[in-house]
Amino acid sequence: MKKILVLGATGTMGQRVVRLLQAEVPGAEVIGASRHPGRNAQVPMRRLDYADPSSYGETLRDIAVLIHAAGPYDHDPRPLVTRCLASGVHYIDLAEDYRFIARVNETAQAVAEPRSSVASGFSTVPALVYCLARCFERLAGLAALDVYLSLGSKNPVGEGLLYSLLRPLGQAGNTGEHWYRRSLNLTHLDGTPRRYAPYPFPAATPFMPPPMSLPLRFHVGFDRGILVTGLRYASHVVPHISDARLRSVSRLMLPTMKLAQLGGTFQGRLTLIARDKAHAPLAQIEITANENGLDIPAAPAVWTSHHLLNHPAETGILKLENVISNSGIITWLRAHNYGYAMRDFTTDSTPRAEES
């Protein structure tokens, strides 16, 4: 049996990845890894500290695919990526930080004869968004893309996700706009209103399909507008907090997240809107999750593991579109009870999502 190692298997996202792999890749043996392998009894565990290359050797021996789910992705990925490429271990991560993704890809490009492949950012953002946006490629008049990700506030949150969510708040983007300082409402295709705020999209990659060379605005929101309001206030404070202090704050805040979950829902949404020059919507894709929405960010790593077990000789940088087609993604989403809707407003007169 080929072995898949999930780094961060003691964490919230890592445990989801493990569960999905066990359900979807039955031909593989799933092994977990982290600095504290005793914390997960669901799978065989090994010790690996990404900051300590001396811990890689024994742990990576006999591994076919490594999924790095040990966020936040604010460390140097080069030692681990280099070791994986040199020892023939396929490397996948769920990073959403463009600097981290760029470093992984630069590392892969610098290896003269890689023995395996790398797939960085293989999560909802940016990989799934890039793939889905390709549906808009042929739209006449396409001038911009808006992406909205709404999280169900009842979903369990780990320290890594909380830190990664908070860190960009209040920082200035490349347009000079400070992330999360203003909010907007979007009425979805089914009439549901959701509040969002501008958020950085990890777009600094040379491997984007054509629509992404267009201006892209990314927004993150919640099923409850009050959380957006709270984060807007927080965006004035967070930039003044160091990385180390923010990590401690995220850890301390975790118990209070249970309070934030009260009255929330599990409902998540991912919406892509293609717009023309006048900002009018041309077409829209909406994915809705009534539960298990956080399986969606875990899914690209699982699809890619499956692909790599069947194509072990792959080397170099992988794109999600080489792993799964858009119709394959839609089939997977529907089979897992997620809603998928696509509207082409150039031919379809159904109500459009309205931003205000």
Cβ neighbours of 244 (radius 10 Å) = 8
Site for ligand NAP in 238-297 (CB under 6 A): 297
DSSP-based three-state secondary structure for 174 = coil
Question: Whose Cβ is closer to ligand NAP: residue 34's or residue 288's?
Answer: 34
Residue in this structure with the two tokens 């914390």, named with its chain if needed = 39
Interface of this chain with ligand NAP, residues 95 to 154, rule: CB under 6 A: 96, 123-125
Total residues contacting ligand NAP by CB under 6 A comes to 31
d(CA 246, CA 134): 36
Query: Which of 1, 23, 42, 51 forms a contact with ligand NAP (CB under 6 A)?
Result: 51
| Cβ nearer to ligand NAP, comparing 259 with 278 | 259
Measured distance CA(266)–CA(280) in Å, rounded: 30
Among 157-165, 173-181, 232-240, 338-346, the segment contacting ligand NAP (CB under 6 A): 157-165
Residue 170 is a binding residue for ligand NAP (CB under 6 A): no
Q: How far is the CB of 123 from ligand NAP (least distance, A)?
A: 3
Percent helix, strand and coil across the chain, each rounded to 5?
35, 25, 40
Residue 95 CB, shortest distance to ligand NAP, in Å, is: 6
Contact (Cβ atoms closer than 8 angstroms) between residue 60 and residue 37: no
Compute the residue count for the chain.
356
Of all residues in the shown chain, the one whose CB is closest to ligand NAP is 71
Helix (H) or strand (E) holding 166, with range, is: helix 159-166
- Judged by beta carbon, residue 282 or residue 294, the one nearer ligand NAP is 294
CB neighbours of 157 closer than 8 A, spacing ≥ 6? 12, 254, 257
**Residue 14 interacts with ligand NAP (CB under 6 A)?**
yes
Considering only residues 319 to 338 of the shown chain, the ones binding ligand NAP according to CB under 6 A are none
**Could you say whether residue 314 binds ligand NAP (CB under 6 A)?**
no
Nearer to ligand NAP, 94 or 273 (CB): 94
Q: Give yes or no for residue 35 binding ligand NAP (CB under 6 A).
A: yes
Q: Tokens at residue 292, please?
A: 């298990």
**Could you give the 3-state DSSP secondary structure of residue 291?**
coil
d(CA 129, CA 152): 18
Q: Which is nearer to ligand NAP, 26 or 38 (CB)?
A: 38
Structure-token pair, residue 158: 């780990």
Give the interface with ligand NAP as residue ranges (CB under 6 A).
Answer: 7-8, 10-14, 34-36, 39, 48-51, 69-73, 94, 96, 123-125, 158-161, 164, 297
